[in-house]
Each structure stands twice: as C-alpha cells, then as structure tokens.
Amino acid sequence: MSESSQTIAADRDDADVDALRARIRQAAEAVRERTPMAQSFTNFVTINLVANAQLAAGGAAAMSFLPDDVVDTASMSGADYINVGTLLPFYKDALPKIARAFRKTGHQWVLDPVAAGIGSTRTEILRAFRAAPPTIVRGNASEIIALATMWGLISPDDATRPAGVESVDEVEAAVEPAKALARFLAASAPEGEAAVAVSGEADLVTDGATVYRLPGGSPMMAKITGAGCSLGGVTAVYLAVTDPLTAALAATALYDRAGEAADKVSNGPGSFQVAFLDALWNTTPDQIAASEILTV
C-alpha cells in the first residue's frame, strides 16, 4: 500500500471508530435509562456474580434452568445468555431446544462456550447450536478456537488442544477463528449482523470484517472466577439495547475500565470482586466510550 493510501485507510478507520464511540455511548446511556433485562441459563459456579454484574452494569437479571421458563421469559427479556460451564445430562436436549425456540422467534442471545472441546455432552450441545446459532459468541481464545473448529469453520490443523475453563492460547491465535465465527453468525442472523468477543490480556472484538483490539483491565480479573462468565451476561444486557458489534465492544470496554478501577482500590481477589462490582456501577457512559479501540 502506498503512503497516501495508508493515510486514507487510517483516516477511514478513525472515522469508523468515532462512529462506534457514539454508538457505545448511546448504548451505555440506554442501559442506564431502560434497565434492560437479560435472562441467563448459566453455570452453577458463577451464577451469582453474573446476576450481580448485570445489575451493577445497569441491567436486570433472571436466571433459570427450566427450559419452559426460559422460553416463556424470553418474551420479556431483551436478549438471552447461555453459558455451558456446568452441564447436566438433560441439557443435551434442553439447550438445543431452547436455541431453536429463540431462532423461531428471532430472539437474540449470547453464547459463552466455556470449556469447549471437553466432554461428549458439551460437544454435542455446542455442535447443535450451529443449526440455531447465537448473535454473539464471547469466550477466551481456546474456547473460540475450539468452537470454530467444531463448527468446521477452520481447519482442525489450526486447532490447539482443548482447554478447561482457562485459556491455553493467546488472544492473537484466535483472530482468524473469531473472524470465521463472526462471518458464520452474521450469515445466519436474520438481521445479517453478529459479533465475536475474545477475552484475555488485551481483548478482541470482531464483526467478521474488522478486528478491534481493546487493551486494559487487570490481571486480577483472572484471579476471581466468573469475570468471563459475567462479561457474557453483561454483553447480553447491552445486546438488549443495541446492535451486536456495539454490544460486544461496549461490554468489553466497560469490563476493562472497571477492572482497572477495582485494581487501584483492592488488596486481593476478595476485595477485588467487591470493588469490581462497585466499579461496574460507577463507570460512566463517557468513560466507556472513551476507551482505547485499535484497528491495527
């Protein structure tokens, strides 16, 4: 690329990011004004932190493991959240059934494919979601790589070994799998829009076309259980008020800013978790929208 076309591309990227910032601010304000409810079907380990984080971010929470509850409540819920961290045998039929019900009504949902690649039941459930996919997938790098492999979107040669709930891959290793997943989700979405968010030391969000990198947060976020799970729940709160790309960026940026604020005033994992909820509550729409968002 010549120097002048590089400058034009950089100017266009700056204009795109400015437009995104305006959407992020609007979404953060809308969450505070409207208290949108996002229903969750999430794991037993971190369910309480997910609900508290959704409230602290300005939304409302409803947790259920009853498939009929989930389908009924979806009519009142702005968006749903499914997290496969802890599963029971009956979920093998229940979760794909719920995903199909969402599909039928066009109800939007966020998937956290926790521990993707581990266990035949989890694999069967995650494979089934391919036919009735979410609007946003949010996970760590290993989970995004495993899901993209499972759905046949990347070559198995590019896959790494499955991880547990913690990532064994760097965020950078998930760039192409994340883009492939986002393109697949967008092609399946009624509105043609979707996003994938990969968390780690510096987070990555993509709509399949552009890759956005969001640095920040705190290493202490990996020392409490549920930072990732609750980010998925908060992403669903945002999805209730805005488009998938803006929702993924806004929730990711909020987590980075809140993590930094909590880091400054805490003294270990216990006080960090308390400070983190306070910081989710106190971070302003302007602070979220002013977050560093890199397109290189």
Ligand X SMILES: Nc1ncnc2c1ncn2[C@@H]1O[C@H](COP(=O)(O)OP(=O)(O)O)[C@@H](O)[C@H]1O
Other beta carbons less than 10 A from residue 204's beta carbon:
24
Take residue 159 and report the two structure tokens written for it.
């896959």
Rule CB under 6 A: say whether 172 interacts with ligand X: no
* Residue with nearest beta carbon to ligand TZP: 85
* Closer residue to ligand X (CB): 47 or 74: 47
Nearest in space to 245 (alpha carbons), one of 210, 217, 280? 210
**CA separation for the pair 76, 126 (Å, rounded):** 25
Q: What does the block give as tokens for 75?
A: 């009519």
- The answer to whether the annotation marks 75 as part of a ligand binding site is no
DSSP labels for 103-170?
HHHT--EEEE-TTTTSSHHHHHHHHHGGGS--SEEEEEHHHHHHHHHHTTSS-GGG-----SSS--S-
Closer residue to ligand X (CB): 207 or 256: 256
Asked if 145 and 159 count as a contact pair (C-beta separation under 8 A), the reply is yes
Q: How far is the CB of 53 from ligand TZP (least distance, A)?
A: 10
As a whole number of angstroms, the distance between CA 261 and CA 63 comes to: 28
Instruction: By CB under 6 A, tell whether 199 contacts ligand X.
Output: yes
Among 39, 40, 43, 142, binds ligand TZP (CB under 6 A): 43
Q: What distances in angstroms separate CA 30 from CA 34, 182, 266, one per listed residue? A: 6, 25, 30
Reduce the DSSP state of residue 203 to 3 states and report it: strand
The interface region with ligand X, picked from 52-60, 99-107, 117-125, 214-222 by CB under 6 A, is 214-222
199 binds, among ligand TZP, ligand X, Mg ion, none (CB under 5 to 8 A by kind): ligand X
Which of 169, 203, 207, 243: binder of ligand X (CB under 6 A)? 203
The residues pairing with 61 across neighbouring beta strands, listed in sequence order, are: 38
Q: Which residue is nearest to ligand X (CB)?
A: 228
Nearer to Mg ion, 208 or 228 (CB): 228
- Residue of 38, 111, 148, 165 interacting with ligand TZP (CB under 6 A): 165
Q: With respect to ligand X, which residue has the nearer C-beta, 187 or 274?
A: 274
Helix 91-105 / helix 120-128 crossing angle, nearest 10 deg: 10
Minimum CB distance to ligand TZP, residue 133 (Å) = 20
Range 170-229, binding ligand TZP (CB under 6 A): 225-229
Tokens 């990011």 correspond to 17
- Pick out residues in 80-109 that bind ligand TZP (CB under 6 A): 85-86
- The CB density around residue 242, as the number of other CB atoms within 10 Å, is 21
Among 78, 228, 233, 244, contact with ligand X (rule: CB under 6 A): 228
- Whose Cβ is closer to ligand TZP: residue 116's or residue 293's? 116
In the list ligand TZP, Mg ion, ligand X, none, the entry touching 203 (Cβ below 5 to 8 angstroms by class) is ligand X
Cα separation, 204 vs 171, whole angstroms:
7
CB of 110 vs ligand X, minimal distance in Å:
13
Q: Does 138 belong to an annotated binding site?
A: yes
Binding residues for substrate: 63, 226
Residues that bind ligand TZP (CB under 6 A): 43, 45-46, 85-86, 114, 165, 225-229
